[in-house]
Amino acid sequence: MPELKVGDSFPSDVVFNYVPYTEEKGDITACGIPTNYDASKGVFSPSHSLIPFCHRSHPHYSSPSSPPRSSQTNHVSSHTTEWANKKVVLFSVPGAFTPGCSARHLPGYINNLAALKAKGVDIVAVIAFNDAWVMSAWGKANGIKGDDILFLSDVETKFSQSLGWTNGERTARYALVIDHGKVTYAEKEPGRDVSVSSAEAVLAKL
């Protein structure tokens, strides 16, 4: 699949990986259970859950033989409806906890979250090449709870590679707006700065 352009339909086979936020696992050291996130449909799929690679002695670890906790297995939220029926802002960063991403890119979306929502955005999501646990911890480290911003793992950079938008083994820095299944904004950074993929640039196009 070539890079997405304005007017294109969002692909039907995009799957990320993430750890759904729960109050029970709200501490940054807590190890939740990753699950596949079907971005094309946005359906939460408990059958695709993965057992976390936490050390068994960790106080927050539940062994596979333990009964599943309802807060993890029955987590259903507003993003379980299809992305095809939503206005979505998706931005990509080269890596969680990296200086540019943590100091300049992500804060813009956090600070402008209310403005994005006021423009009719239903879902704001960030992806990176990091695994789901790292992305979850990055969200917690920035005080994000619930589904205010979804922190998704682009597993093996599969989605970004399909666009040709990678930075070596990492995801590149870019932003997409998907409005009811159609791409209305698609920009990859031409250099190292945060410009066309910033929250401010996206807001100006909504």
Answer yes or no: is 190 within a domain: yes
- Domain-embedded: residue 95: yes
d(CA 166, CA 170): 6
Is 63 contained in some domain? Answer: yes
Confidence at residue 84, expressed as pLDDT on a 0 to 100 scale: 77
Cα–Cα distance list, 131 to 23, 78, 98, 140, 189 (Å): 21, 23, 14, 15, 23
183 vs 7: CA distance, rounded Å = 5
Mean pLDDT of the chain: 83
User: Which has more pLDDT, 18 or 52?
Assistant: 18
Query: Has residue 53 been placed in a domain?
Result: yes
> Would you say residue 7 lies in a domain?
no
Summarised one tens digit per residue, pLDDT across range 97-134 is 998 898 889 999 999 999 999 999 999 999 999 999 99
pLDDT of 48 reads: 41
Q: Is 5 among the domain residues?
A: no
Query: Beta strands of 129-173 (E only): which ranges?
Result: 150-153, 166-167, 170-171
Q: How many structural domains does the chain have?
A: 1
pLDDT score of 1: 56
Beta carbons of 142 and 28 less than 8 angstroms apart: no
Band (pLDDT 50/70/90 cuts) for residue 51 is very low
Whether pLDDT at 47 is above 90 = no
Q: Is 47 domain-assigned? A: yes
Q: What is the mean pLDDT of residues 87-93?
A: 97
- Residue 173: the pLDDT is 97
Is residue 9 situated within a structural domain? no
Contacts of 178 (CB under 8 A, 6+ apart): 10, 83, 86, 87, 88, 90, 184
pLDDT digits (tens, 9 = 90+) for 2-29: 688 999 999 988 999 999 999 999 999 8
Domain carrying residue 34: 15-205
State the CATH number of the domain containing residue 95. 3.40.30.10
From 39, 88, 93, 101, active-site residue: 101
pTM of the entire predicted model: 0.81
- The reported pLDDT for the residue numbered 78 is 44
Mark whether 101 is an active-site residue: yes
